[in-house]
A = this chain, B = another copy of it.
Amino acid sequence: MADFSINILGCGSALPTTRHLATSQVVDLRDKLYMIDCGEGTQVQMRNMRVRFGRLAHIFISHLHGDHCFGLPGLISTLGMLGRTGELVVHGPKEVETYLRPVMDLFCRGMEFDVRFNTVDTRSHSLVMEDRSLSVWSIPLKHRIPTCGYLFAEKPKEAHIIREMTDFYQVPVRCMKDIKQGQDYVTPEGEVIPNARLTRPAATPKRYAFCSDTAYNRSIIPIIEGVDLLYHEATFAECDLARAKETFHSTARQAAEIARDAQVKRLVIGHYSARYDDLTDLHREAEAVFPGTILGNEGMVIPV
């Protein structure tokens, strides 16, 4: 198991089909779970994919269209019935609270945990949340209503101790923490042992960007530049470009252009319109611009 991965619970668009469900993903960073969007049916998909409800601490909502948030009341009720006590934080545009508060007042009385709303300014690229291992940033998107994507940036990890070397120099346990964070070791005799001789560098921190829903929008390129994995919506095929413009969505080719120009390492597409029974064209159109494009699908677990 990769220690940083995304689970695709749903990657359909507004109309659910028998092939694709409404949008939801779970980012798994060393067993701590962060949900992005929560369309209808998300809690059932969590069961199907064996995503553990108890590990979920934060939910990030991109925008207030039903296919991105109608699963919230059911998920929150279920967390209550499962005996959750720890706070749940829901990040998103301010309308998320306008929607959820009255529903929770009707259905979630007596629940033993708090739901805290953190309003995200969808027009700015700013820090939304950070904890020990991760920081999450908003990505302003261009859609029919206030919408933002989210950038998940792993924090630098501590270096790995080379046990043979610290044993050889008889480094006391109390010095280990500093050494992991890059300090040299000075022996009781005054000899300086350079940090590089005692540690192996930690893996480079990884970054994941979620961008859905959005029109073709080149202003996100500097924000997502070089990310290890980009999920970009690809609602339409090139033949429906006019419809994409009209509805503030992207084509698969446009998603790939953003990925190519932002020099991301890998691209996964999703949010497919219900009009396509077969996604071969969308995949081919993206591949022509960004070879290796991953065609997102329900149930996929993708390492970042």
Question: Which residues of A are at the interface with B, using a C-beta cutoff of 8 A?
Answer: 14-18, 21-22, 40-41, 43-44, 47-48, 64-67, 70-71, 73-74, 77-78, 81-82, 95, 98-99, 102-103, 106-107
Nearest-CB residue, chain B, relative to A78: B15
Task: Tell me which of B16, B47, B73, B74 contacts A78 (CB under 8 A).
Answer: B16
Residues in B with CB closer than 8 Å to A14 are 77-78, 81
Q: Do A21 and B40 touch (CB < 8 A)?
A: no
> Closest CB of chain B to A139's CB: distance in Å?
23
Task: Tell me which of B47, B81, B98 contacts A106 (CB under 8 A).
Answer: B98
Question: Interface on chain A toward B: helix, strand, loop, or mixed SS?
Answer: helix
Given contacts A15-B81, A40-B40, A73-B66, contact A103 B107 (CB under 8 A): no
- Cα of A193 to Cα of B77 in the assembled complex, Å: 66
- Cα of A106 to Cα of B47 in the assembled complex, Å: 29
- Cα of A99 to Cα of B98 in the assembled complex, Å: 13
Residues in B with CB closer than 8 Å to A74 are 16, 22, 40, 66-67, 70
Q: Do A107 and B64 touch (CB < 8 A)?
A: yes
> Closest CB of chain B to A143's CB: distance in Å?
15
Residues in B with CB closer than 8 Å to A103 are 99, 103
Q: Do B18 and A64 touch (CB < 8 A)?
A: no
Nearest-CB residue, chain B, relative to A49: B18
- Cα of A276 to Cα of B228 in the assembled complex, Å: 43
Q: Do A17 and B70 touch (CB < 8 A)?
A: no
Task: Tell me which of B18, B48, B98 contacts A47 (CB under 8 A).
Answer: B18
> Closest CB of chain B to A66's CB: distance in Å?
5
Nearest-CB residue, chain B, relative to A82: B15
Residues in B with CB closer than 8 Å to A48 are 18
Task: Tell me which of B16, B44, B98 contacts A16 (CB under 8 A).
Answer: B44
Task: Tell me which of B41, B95, B99 contacts A41 (CB under 8 A).
Answer: B41
Q: Do B106 and A64 touch (CB < 8 A)?
A: yes
> Closest CB of chain B to A14's CB: distance in Å?
6
Task: Tell me which of B43, B98, B102 contacts A40 (CB under 8 A).
Answer: B43
Residues in B with CB closer than 8 Å to A22 are 74
